[in-house]
Amino acid sequence: MSQRTGIFIAVVSVAVVALAGAALATPPTGFTTNLLARGSAGELHAKHDGIRLKTRRGVSADVAVATVTIDPGGSSGWHHHPGVVVVVVQSGTVTFYDENCGADVHQAGEAFIESSESPGLAKNTGTGTAVVEATFIVPASTPPAPPTPLRIDDPQPKRCNVT
Q: Which residues contact 38 (CB under 8 A, 6 or more apart)?
A: 62, 63, 64, 65, 147
The reported pTM is 0.83
Q: From the CB of residue 152, how many other CB atoms can be counted at a distance below 10 Å?
A: 14
- CA 71 to centroid of chain Cα atoms: 18
Total of domains in the chain: 1
Domain annotation covers residue 22: no
pLDDT digits (tens, 9 = 90+) for 93-143: 999 999 999 999 999 999 999 998 999 999 999 999 999 999 999 999 988
Domain that holds residue 89: 27-153
The CATH number of residue 75's host domain is 2.60.120.10
Domain annotation covers residue 10: no
Domain annotation covers residue 91: yes
Sort 88 into a burial class: Cβ within 10 Å, 0-12 / 13-18 / 19+. middle
